[in-house]
Structure 1
Amino acid sequence: MKRLFNCIRAAALSFAVASPAFAADQLTIGLIPAEDSQAMLESSKQVLAALEKQLGMPVKPYMATDYNGVIEALRAKKLDVAYLGPFSYAMATTVANVEAFAVAVTKKTGQSSYKSQIIVRKDSNLNSIADLKGHTFAFVDPSSASGHLFPKAGLIAAGYDPEKFFSRVMFSGSHDASILSVANKKVEAAAVADRILNAAILKEQIGKDDVKVIWSSGAIPESPMVWRKDLDPALKEKIARAFAGIKDLPWGDQGVLNGFQPTNDAAYNIVRDTASALKLDLRSMK
């Protein structure tokens, strides 16, 4: 675990003295690498600083190299809170004593859900899933909802076996990497989150006419904030209040926050149902 987190420790935030009301002397938060790892850390700093101020204790972020790294840290009780994808959360509940408690709501969408999209270069002659036969394809991470689980389910529902349909399948490691792989002709198609694609265009990582969308999923519940169930109940209450009050700050690719609204484990049953339809054993995938 030390190897996973060394690159982030130097950038960890530490301001206030720990509150004597709780056993912990700091709160540790795990962040998934949805974007480029350093970009995700940088875009989270204002939120973490606001959280630290409201809690009255140091808040330290940790970024694993993949989704499983965050799950492992939760299981080992090296993290108190984590930001997980919907699918990685469903996986985490099979091996770690965790539960979802909040999801971000942004001013841009006012929603707590998003979609998976399959993209190709706009100048290609690929216009439908059927056109992708024999071409190269990128998923994000085996534990990504919008970058793997939901698009894979969509492909199978359309009658295509991803293992046989494409000439080559790769996992890029992040949504940004998948987007750039298509834009730079490293692969011919990729599955990514709609909000991360929109953010990449706004940040001019790619041009608005570089790619086009040829498939979209239904609504996917937004990535949750989760905590270990064994945290002090008083600390949980304070954490929930602190997240709910964080507004008007940027939160990664999602845009400017309008607070975090409460959620619960049952909100992610659609993710479990999709995994079940694909005959995936979440525990074995972890």
Structure 2
Amino acid sequence: MITRRLALGSGAAALALPAAAQPAPAWRARFPELTFASIPAENSAGVTERFGPFVEYMSRTLGVPVRLRIANDYAAVVEGQRAGNIHVAQYGPSAFARALMTGAPIEAFAIEVNRDGTKGYHSVFYVRRDSAFQAIQDLRGRNLGLVDPNSTSGNNVPRFALHGMGIVPEQFFARVVYTGSHENAVIALQQGTVDVAANWWNDEQESNLARMARRNMARVEDFRVIFRSEQIVNSPTAMLSTLPDELKAAIRTAYLELPQREPALFQRMTDGQQQPWQPVTNAAYQPIIELNRFVDGLRRQRS
């Protein structure tokens, strides 16, 4: 029998006793590998560059491999979580709302926070600076660039705003082009494929265009904003609600503590333009569900 005295012993003896090994969490047997995905707000190389080190961090922290899935479009992330093939995903607000509306068993647990502490962003319409266009009304018969049917700032908010102006896009513009990503929308405008393009914008310092400029993909000074929406709730990260509670807690802790544990990694992921993520719940996105329903109604009216 080991007595308290023998267990504590002198300093040297005590140090010689090995610490008891912690048993592996039970969830690891059911989930030996996890998958993370993000909506394609930028090209696949950009997604890999931004999230590659992140999934390595999550793998180290959780103790199982976390794989990065590069989605072709927003719907692929929604369908992947609805099917249970994507365990954690970073969404845009409308894509997340769409996932909830279509029955995906998911729960938001983290929201992006801007440098000034706000939790929202805007949809804008860009035109080329050297164009004569000063307002949306000047673009009748021209080409409109949208991002993806499930993009908040790249489709749903623009359509809501255009409706408020009395504009039916498919009737007012010569063509409505879905470019697939925010980056592609800017490139289409840059190349003259479209004459006006929707995009996301936080403030004068941070936007998709500013990110592209930092990577020498575009120049901010080549474009002008001719419309800016009201603020939209920032993007969430969500996980499957069907995961074991212990695993969900581990994911939540690893994610929310990343900015403190790995500040350089967080700076890289956010281009140094965000404060640490904060907790959030599905309730924050109820207004976006209502926005989706409104845009769905507009679509039904056209058909």
TM-score normalized by the length of structure 2: 0.82
What's the secondary structure of 1:209's corresponding residue? helix
Tell me what 2:37 maps to: 30
Q: Is the 8 A contact 1:138 1:170 kept in 2?
A: yes
- Between stretches 146-155 and 24-33, larger displacement belongs to 24-33
Q: What is the aligned counterpart of 2:239 among 215, 221, 227? A: 227
Q: Which residue of 2 aligns with 1:100?
A: 108
Give the aligned partner of residue 21 of structure 1.
26
**Residue 264 (str. 1) matches residue 278 (str. 2):** no
Greater share of helix residues, 1 or 2? 2
Matches within 5 A, 1:154-193: 154-193=161-200
Whether the aligned pair in 2 keeps the contact of 1:118 and 1:189 (CA below 8 Å) is: yes
Deviation track 1:45-101 (CA, whole Å, cap 9, x = no partner) reads 222222222222211110111111111111221111111111111111122111211
Cα deviation 1:10-64 (Å, max 9, x = unaligned) = xxxxxxxx95431311221112111012211211122222222222221111011
**Equivalent residue in structure 2 for 1:147, among 138, 147, 154:** 154
Residue type at the aligned position of 1:233:
D
Residues 109 and 44 of structure 1: CA distance in aligned 2, closer, same or farther (over 3 Å)? farther
- Paired residue type of 1:70: V
Given the superposition, is the C-alpha separation of residues 238 and 140 from structure 1 closer, same or farther in structure 2, using an over 3 Å criterion? Answer: same
Question: In the aligned structure 1, how far is the partner of 2:273 from the partner of 2:214?
Answer: 14
Match of 2:84 in 1: 77
- Read off the aligned partner of 1:272 and give its amino acid letter: I
- Give the structure 2 partner of residue 91 of structure 1: 98
Cα–Cα, structure 1 residues 42 and 206, in superposed 2: closer, same or farther, change >3 Å? same
Partner of 2:220: helix, strand, or coil?
Answer: coil
Aligned alpha-carbon RMSD (Å): 2.0
| Residues 154-209 of structure 1: per-residue CA shift (max 9 Å, x gap) | 01111111111101111000000001111121211010111212211232211122
Deviation at 1:226, TM superposition (A): 0.9
- The runs of 5 or more residues in structure 2 that have no matched partner are 1-22, 202-206
Q: CA deviation at 1:253?
A: 6.0
State how many pairs are aligned: 264
Find the aligned partners of 2:274 and 2:52 in 1 and give their Cα distance: 13
1:118 to 2:135 alignment: no
2:76 maps to 1:64: no
The 4+ residue runs of structure 1 with deviation greater than 6 A are none
| Stretch of structure 1 that moved more, 171-180 or 41-50 | 41-50
Provide the C-alpha distance between the structure 2 equivalents of 1:31 and 1:19, rounded to a whole number of angstroms. 29
Give how far 1:252 is off: 4.8
Q: Is the partner of 1:183 in helix, strand or coil?
A: helix
In the superposition, relative to structure 1, how do residues 231 and 251 fare at CA in structure 2: closer, same or farther (>3 Å)?
farther
Is 1:50 matched up with 2:67? no
Structure 2 residue matching 1:93: 3-state secondary structure: helix
Q: Which amino acid aligns with 2:97?
A: A
Q: Which residue of 2 aligns with 1:12?
A: none
Rounded to whole Å, the distance in 2 between the matches of 1:240 and 1:31 is 17
Amino acid at match of 2:108: A
Distance 1:120 1:171 in 2: 16
Report the Cα distance in structure 2 between the residues aligned to 1:174 and 1:251, rounded to whole angstroms. Answer: 20
Decide which structure has the larger Cα Rg and report it: 2
CA contact (8 A) 1:243 1:259 kept: no
Matches within 5 A, 1:180-259: 180-194=187-201, 195-247=207-259, 248=263, 249-250=266-267, 252=269, 255=272, 258-259=275-276
C-alpha distance in structure 2 between counterparts of 1:103 and 1:218, whole Å: 18
Q: What is the CA–CA distance in structure 2 between the aligned matches of 1:281 and 1:227, rounded to whole Å?
A: 30
How high is the sequence identity, in percent, across the aligned residues?
Answer: 32
Q: CA deviation at 1:145?
A: 0.5
How far did 1:217 drift?
A: 1.0
Distance 1:253 1:212, change over 3 A: farther
Asked if structure 1 preserves the Cα contact closer than 8 Å seen for 2:98 and 2:292, the reply is: no
Paired position in structure 1 for 2:144:
137
How many Å separate the matches in 1 of 2:250 and 2:191?
Answer: 45
- 1:110 CA displacement: 3.4
- Paired with 2:187 and 2:111, the residues of 1 have a C-alpha distance of 27
